[in-house]
């Protein structure tokens, strides 16, 4: 796309070059944030810092177990991110629950839970993070506007989905008695404090989010290098090893998608679409509701990236309800189908959950809960 744009667009070469560099600068902030966050989470997991969660989910009642997993998933995804949270929880489910069908039911329900949990904080979902980095939303207004609607949507979904889970007690695998690696608690605490500090640094010092996550990673890097110094058997617990475990294919996917959207913006295509969208959808609520439905079919990352480029601050200023609706609808709307969000796609490969199976069991309840959350934002801003 950029090759075509450079060849056939009438602008000067220096202008086209400056446009590309400007877009790449913005995109790099998102990618550096993702790399830092993924490294911190992987470092905690390698130190078995999440083992404490397994003790909490040793509950033989499937319905009570789902409520515990949902509560953990909702709050973890708001602090970490939705993809990381579902990977952690599904891994723990596989290590804990013996029945394969029950594992599928529990895991599928968590897709909506982690998506709605990640929508109301700036670091909980990649689309919300993109809006935050681009300056369309701020931390406190985001949480104030989406906190209550997200919790309401979460409660509706969890209550309805619980009714589809069998009541019979399930068999659980016993917890291994092996000890966690040395420094496990230290890494867990530093990692959590690091994630909490990111929005605080943005709020207090106006430090870009990617710098906040890199500073947090730097502190962890120093701490683990000191703690594991002169111990060759602990090489797998150091950051330089953890960096080899990062999902680079995910990073490259975001790079490609965001560069493609940037090219559409430079060529003026997105501006034309914005004019058409305003003619078809006469208000922000209808537009964003439809955006959520599209995000169930098309990945929500290009949709939100396109929306950011389509509407500038003169159309919808920072912290306008339009951007909060974008964050909620694109993030939560992807839960309507299993292919609509990163947690859903990851679950397909981990638990072999089929598209139609998810559609029959989860999509209807997810759609009802999505409407409740969207309506909650409307009522919340109305009064």
Domain total of the chain: 1
Within a domain: 158: yes
Within a domain: 1: no
**Dist CA 322 CA 285 (whole Å):** 7
Within a domain: 7: no
For residue 97, list its beta bridge partners: 172
Q: Give percent of the chain above pLDDT 90.
A: 27
**Dist CA 114 CA 297 (whole Å):** 18
pLDDT in tens, 76-100: 888 877 877 887 888 788 878 888 8
Q: 350 is written with which tokens?
A: 């981990």
Predicted confidence at residue 365, as pLDDT, reads: 95
Predicted confidence at residue 173, as pLDDT, reads: 67
The pTM assigned to this predicted structure is 0.79
Within a domain: 79: yes
Environment class of residue 77 by beta-carbon count within 10 Å: exposed (0-12), middle (13-18) or buried (19+)? buried
Length reported for the chain: 383
- Find how far residue 79's CA is from the centre of its chain: 10
**Dist CA 290 CA 298 (whole Å):** 12
User: Tokens 């995000």 — which residue?
Assistant: 295
**321 backbone dihedrals φ, ψ, rounded to 5°:** -55, -25
Within a domain: 204: yes
Predicted confidence at residue 112, as pLDDT, reads: 95
Predicted confidence at residue 236, as pLDDT, reads: 78
Domain enclosing residue 164, as ranges = 20-382
Predicted confidence at residue 233, as pLDDT, reads: 66
Within a domain: 9: no
pLDDT tens for the chain, residues 1 to 383: 999 888 887 778 788 888 899 888 888 888 888 888 888 888 888 888 877 777 777 888 889 999 999 999 999 888 877 877 887 888 788 878 888 888 899 999 999 999 999 999 988 888 898 899 888 999 899 999 999 999 999 999 999 999 999 888 776 766 666 666 777 888 888 988 888 888 888 878 888 888 988 999 999 999 988 888 777 667 778 888 888 888 788 788 878 888 888 888 888 887 777 677 777 777 788 888 988 888 888 777 788 888 888 888 888 899 999 999 999 998 899 899 988 887 887 788 677 788 899 999 999 999 999 999 999 998 888 76
Within a domain: 11: no
Q: 98 is written with which tokens?
A: 């013996």
- Enclosing H/E stretch for 372: helix 364-382
Residue 142 and residue 128 in contact, taking contact as beta carbons nearer than 8 Å: yes
Environment class of residue 373 by beta-carbon count within 10 Å: exposed (0-12), middle (13-18) or buried (19+)? buried
Residue 223 and residue 190 in contact, taking contact as beta carbons nearer than 8 Å: yes
């Amino acid at each position: 796309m950029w090759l075509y744009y450079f060849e056939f667009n009438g602008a000067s070469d220096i202008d086209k070059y400056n446009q590309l560099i400007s877009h790449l600068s913005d995109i790099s902030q998102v990618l550096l944030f993702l790399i830092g966050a993924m490294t911190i989470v992987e470092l905690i997991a390698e130190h078995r810092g999440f083992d404490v969660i397994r003790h909490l989910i040793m509950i033989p009642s499937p319905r009570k177990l789902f409520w515990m997993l949902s509560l953990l998933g909702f709050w973890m995804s708001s602090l970490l991110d939705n993809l990381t949270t579902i990977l952690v929880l599904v891994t723990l489910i596989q290590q804990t629950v013996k029945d394969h069908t029950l594992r599928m039911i529990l895991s599928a329900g968590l897709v909506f839970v982690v998506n709605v949990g990640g929508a109301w904080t700036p670091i909980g979902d990649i689309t919300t993070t993109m809006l935050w980095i681009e300056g369309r939303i701020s931390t406190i207004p985001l949480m104030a506007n989406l906190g209550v609607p997200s919790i309401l949507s979460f409660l509706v979904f969890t209550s309805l989905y619980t009714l589809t889970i069998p009541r019979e007690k399930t068999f659980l695998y016993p917890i291994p008695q092996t000890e966690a690696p040395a420094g496990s608690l230290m890494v867990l605490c530093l990692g959590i404090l690091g994630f909490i500090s990111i929005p605080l640094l943005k709020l207090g010092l106006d430090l870009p989010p990617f710098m906040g996550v890199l500073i947090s990673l730097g502190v962890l890097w120093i701490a683990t290098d000191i703690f594991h110094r002169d111990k060759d058997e602990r090489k797998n617990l150091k950051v330089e090893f953890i960096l080899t475990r990062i999902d680079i294919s995910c990073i490259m996917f975001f790079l490609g998608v965001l560069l493609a959207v940037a090219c559409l913006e430079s060529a003026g295509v997105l501006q034309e679409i914005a004019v058409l969208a305003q003619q078809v959808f006469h208000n922000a609520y209808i537009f964003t509701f439809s955006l959520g439905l599209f995000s169930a079919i098309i990945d929500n990352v290009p949709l939100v990236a396109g929306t950011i480029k389509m509407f500038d601050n003169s159309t919808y200023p920072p912290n306008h309800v339009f951007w909060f609706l974008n964050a909620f609808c694109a993030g939560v709307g992807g839960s309507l189908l299993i292919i609509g969000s990163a947690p859903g796609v990851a679950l397909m490969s981990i638990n072999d959950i089929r598209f139609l199976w998810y559609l029959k069991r989860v999509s209807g309840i997810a759609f009802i809960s999505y409407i409740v959350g969207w309506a909650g934002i409307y009522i919340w801003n109305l009064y």
